[in-house]
């Protein structure tokens, strides 16, 4: 018997005999008791007691909110003081369409701007370089500073934070800065996050990168961190995206581990270029998926917070609490939603959101229930935000900080998830770090296996999914919501305006900015992102900037692991 179990007994007279009685009764009730595992592969017991977790370890493992080891939350007041940012990611149609939608959402309680650009932007092309049918169907078309001005029309960007789903080379941030300049807003007042800056997660999971070579991405990211530190100090230049990994099939523990390893990689890369972790780490943020595995997700977040604090203190020797605060945005997982009986998704999203809240998230996006049917439409989006409002205002989930802290189960699971995550981190360390591991395809392989294994569990019925392999009804007559597509003709009009924009620019200014960008790419001491901002201000389009980088820093191919 372990020492900790003994101590529990000593303090609790009668523990042993009561436990033995329970065990006998439990066994007699349970004719069939197959082992239960969570998604990360941890075995889940029927009951947790002080045998599993003892509050004698409180100070070492939990402590108080806002202080090491940060398990209970990164701020002293957490959600009781200030609830999470309600950040619904939206993006659709032309810049004008987007602006209309954004303002409507802000009226319903959304407290920050977020922008999903059209997939053409993710790929690194202008609207006139791709199939017109696809434009604006899953994000807003944004190619120039003018477009950004239209997107943010009447939005007080000196007061609200503007999160951009901004893939490298961060042209959206460059356009925001260009827009601020035109509106005479100092850059120091611009707050927000480059939400999709994590090229490693894109390379691995989403293939969402703009087809720039890996070394090219690596360089531009570090340059952006450096630039923001100097010129846009309230901007979070980096968001490390564990979400992509989990959506692509990583287990919650793997996704957390990969995100932490990516953060280690980015930190090391910045240090190598002469930056001080004390200066840039406070601006690192994370972005995670919240699956339906309720307790597992809560434990994932609590464990992640603890490990990140330890990494910052032990690996990077920074003992400055702002540097090891594990700030994260989270999004309810679309992979758990079903097309069958879609209204059930509202219940799923509510449970996922609760896991995010109990996990101590700083910012939350709840999925609309029609997300698996189409690009989310208006009413489902409103219900998604109201789900957050209900959990906070009606259910009072924010009254107590870390309300599950001290639960024998949650604390045990947090420790076990921590171990699991640490094991994956060690594996990646052994491969030479995250950059090397993804370059060689190791991470991709691990994720691919996970995706297939989870699908197999659903196929076999081991994992029940309501409406899919259990509790099915005949839905053949039931039609889903009508798809919503940009108004016909609106994209043609947009393309015309882009043409006009391109032809009305100062040729010499554009040319000069382009050659500055080119030169920066080929001069290691120069900051490429600084020239991206200059180019945007000088009138270059997203596609032109990306084309130049692809040419100068190398074209990127996804690494397909089959």
Q: Which residues bind other proteins (CB under 8 A)?
A: 118-120, 122-123, 130-131, 133-134, 137-138, 202, 206-208, 211, 247-249, 335, 338-340, 372-375, 448, 451-452, 455, 459, 465, 467-468, 479-483, 557-558, 560, 562
| Nearest partner of 356 among 331, 391, 336, 337, judged by Cα | 331
| Comparison of 178 and 242: residue with beta carbon closer to other proteins | 242
Task: Work out how close the CB of 208 gets to other proteins at its nearest, in angstroms, rounded to a whole number.
Answer: 5
Task: Work out how close the CB of 206 gets to other proteins at its nearest, in angstroms, rounded to a whole number.
Answer: 5
Task: Work out how close the CB of 129 gets to other proteins at its nearest, in angstroms, rounded to a whole number.
Answer: 11
- Residue with the two structure tokens 């005479």: 184
| Comparison of 202 and 327: residue with beta carbon closer to other proteins | 202
| Comparison of 268 and 374: residue with beta carbon closer to other proteins | 374
Q: Which two tokens stand for residue 152?
A: 């943010």
| Comparison of 248 and 537: residue with beta carbon closer to other proteins | 248
| Comparison of 49 and 254: residue with beta carbon closer to other proteins | 254
The dihedrals phi and psi of 115, each to the nearest 5 degrees, come to -135, 120
Chain centroid to Cα 430, Å, comes to 26
User: DSSP state, 140?
Assistant: B
How far is it, in rounded angstroms, from Cα 222 to Cα 274? Answer: 10
Task: Work out how close the CB of 239 gets to other proteins at its nearest, in angstroms, rounded to a whole number.
Answer: 18
Task: Work out how close the CB of 253 gets to other proteins at its nearest, in angstroms, rounded to a whole number.
Answer: 18
Q: Where are the alpha helices (DSSP H) in 193-316?
A: 199-201, 214-231, 242-247, 252-272, 277-280, 294-310
| Comparison of 43 and 131: residue with beta carbon closer to other proteins | 131
Contact 498, 128 (CB under 8 A): yes
Task: Work out how close the CB of 346 gets to other proteins at its nearest, in angstroms, rounded to a whole number.
Answer: 17
Q: Are strands 85-86 and 363-365 parallel, antiparallel or unpaired?
A: parallel
Task: Work out how close the CB of 211 gets to other proteins at its nearest, in angstroms, rounded to a whole number.
Answer: 8
Task: Work out how close the CB of 152 gets to other proteins at its nearest, in angstroms, rounded to a whole number.
Answer: 24
Q: Where are the alpha helices (DSSP H) in 82-182?
A: 95-107, 119-123, 145-151, 171-182
| Comparison of 390 and 468: residue with beta carbon closer to other proteins | 468
The dihedrals phi and psi of 44, each to the nearest 5 degrees, come to -105, 125
Task: Work out how close the CB of 271 gets to other proteins at its nearest, in angstroms, rounded to a whole number.
Answer: 22
Task: Work out how close the CB of 481 gets to other proteins at its nearest, in angstroms, rounded to a whole number.
Answer: 7
How far is it, in rounded angstroms, from Cα 539 to Cα 533? Answer: 10
| Comparison of 397 and 553: residue with beta carbon closer to other proteins | 553
Q: Are strands 238-241 and 235-236 parallel, antiparallel or unpaired?
A: unpaired
Coil, helix or strand for 556? coil
| Nearest partner of 325 among 379, 286, 275, judged by Cα | 286
Task: Work out how close the CB of 34 gets to other proteins at its nearest, in angstroms, rounded to a whole number.
Answer: 23
| Comparison of 255 and 312: residue with beta carbon closer to other proteins | 255
| Nearest partner of 527 among 13, 169, 260, 156, judged by Cα | 169
Decide: residue 558, CB within 10 A, 0-12 exposed, 13-18 middle, 19+ buried.
middle
| Comparison of 341 and 534: residue with beta carbon closer to other proteins | 341
**What DSSP assignment string belongs to 447-489?**
HHHHHHHHHHHHHHTSS--BTTTBS----TT---PPP--PPTT
**What DSSP assignment string belongs to 332-365?**
E-GGG--SSSTTHHHHHHHHHHHHHHHTT-SEEE
Task: Work out how close the CB of 454 gets to other proteins at its nearest, in angstroms, rounded to a whole number.
Answer: 9
| Comparison of 60 and 133: residue with beta carbon closer to other proteins | 133
Task: Work out how close the CB of 169 gets to other proteins at its nearest, in angstroms, rounded to a whole number.
Answer: 17
| Comparison of 207 and 382: residue with beta carbon closer to other proteins | 207
Q: Which residues of 181-205 are buried (b: 16+ CB within 10 A; e: fewer)?
A: eeeebebeebbbbbbbbbbbbbbbb
Sign for the pseudo-dihedral over CA of 70, 75, 77, 82 = negative
297: CB partners within 8 A, 6+ apart: 252, 290, 291, 352, 355, 356, 359
| Nearest partner of 213 among 173, 244, 169, judged by Cα | 169
Q: Which two tokens stand for residue 169?
A: 């080379």
| Comparison of 67 and 343: residue with beta carbon closer to other proteins | 343
């Amino acid at each position: 018997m372990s020492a900790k179990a003994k101590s529990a007994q000593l303090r609790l007279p009668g523990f042993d005999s009561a436990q033995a009685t329970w065990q006998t009764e439990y066994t007699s009730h349970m004719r069939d008791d197959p082992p239960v595992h969570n998604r990360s592969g941890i075995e889940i017991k029927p009951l947790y007691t002080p045998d599993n977790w003892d509050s004698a370890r409180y100070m070492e493992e939990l402590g108080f909110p806002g202080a090491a080891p940060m398990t209970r939350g990164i701020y002293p007041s957490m959600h009781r003081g200030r609830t999470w940012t309600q950040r619904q990611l939206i993006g659709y149609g032309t810049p004008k369409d987007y602006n209309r939608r954004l303002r409507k959402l802000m009226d319903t309680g959304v407290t920050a701007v977020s922008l999903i650009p059209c997939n053409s932007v993710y790929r690194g092309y202008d609207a006139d370089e791709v199939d017109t049918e696809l434009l604006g169907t899953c994000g807003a078309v944004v190619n120039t500073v003018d477009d950004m001005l239209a997107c943010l029309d009447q939005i007080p960007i000196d007061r609200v934070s503007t999160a951009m789903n901004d893939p490298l080379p961060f042209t959206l941030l460059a356009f925001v800065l260009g827009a601020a300049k035109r509106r005479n807003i100092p850059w120091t007042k611009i707050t927000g996050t480059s939400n999709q800056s994590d090229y490693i997660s894109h390379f691995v999971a989403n293939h969402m990168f703009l087809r720039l070579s890996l070394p090219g991405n690596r360089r531009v990211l570090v340059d952006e961190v450096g630039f923001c530190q100097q010129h846009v100090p309230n901007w979070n230049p980096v968001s490390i995206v564990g979400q992509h990994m989990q959506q692509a099939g990583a287990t919650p523990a793997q996704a957390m581990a990969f995100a932490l390893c990516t953060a280690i990689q980015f930190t090391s890369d910045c240090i190598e270029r002469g930056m001080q972790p004390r200066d840039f780490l406070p601006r690192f943020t994370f972005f995670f998926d919240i699956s339906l595995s309720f307790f597992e997700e809560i434990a994932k977040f609590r464990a992640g917070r603890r490990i990140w604090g330890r990494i910052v203190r032990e690996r990077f020797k920074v003992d400055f609490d702002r540097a090891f605060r594990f700030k994260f945005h989270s999004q309810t997982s679309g992979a758990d939603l079903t097309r069958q009986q879609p209204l059930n998704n509202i219940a799923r999203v509510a449970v996922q959101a609760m896991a995010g809240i109990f996990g101590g998230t700083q910012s939350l996006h709840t999925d609309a229930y029609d997300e698996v049917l189409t690009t989310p439409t208006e009413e489902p989006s409103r219900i998604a935000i109201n789900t957050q409002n209900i959990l906070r205002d009606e259910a009072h989930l924010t009254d107590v900080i870390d309300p599950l802290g001290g639960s024998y189960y949650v604390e045990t699971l947090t420790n076990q998830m921590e171990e699991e995550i640490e094991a994956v981190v060690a594996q990646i360390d052994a491969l030479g770090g995250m950059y090397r591991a993804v370059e060689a395809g190791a991470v991709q392989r691990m994720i691919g296996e996970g995706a297939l294994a989870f699908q197999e569990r659903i196929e076999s019925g081991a994992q029940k999914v309501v409406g899919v392999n259990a509790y099915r009804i005949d839905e053949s007559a039931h039609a889903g919501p009508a798809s919503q597509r940009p108004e016909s003709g609106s994209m043609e009009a947009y393309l015309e305006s882009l043409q006009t924009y391109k032809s009305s620019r100062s040729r010499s200014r554009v040319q000069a900015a382009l050659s500055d960008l080119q030169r920066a790419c080929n001069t290691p001491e120069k900051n490429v992102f600084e020239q991206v901002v200059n180019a945007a201000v000088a009138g270059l389009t997203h596609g032109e900037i990306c084309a130049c980088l692809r040419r100068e820093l190398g074209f990127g191919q996804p690494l397909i692991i089959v």
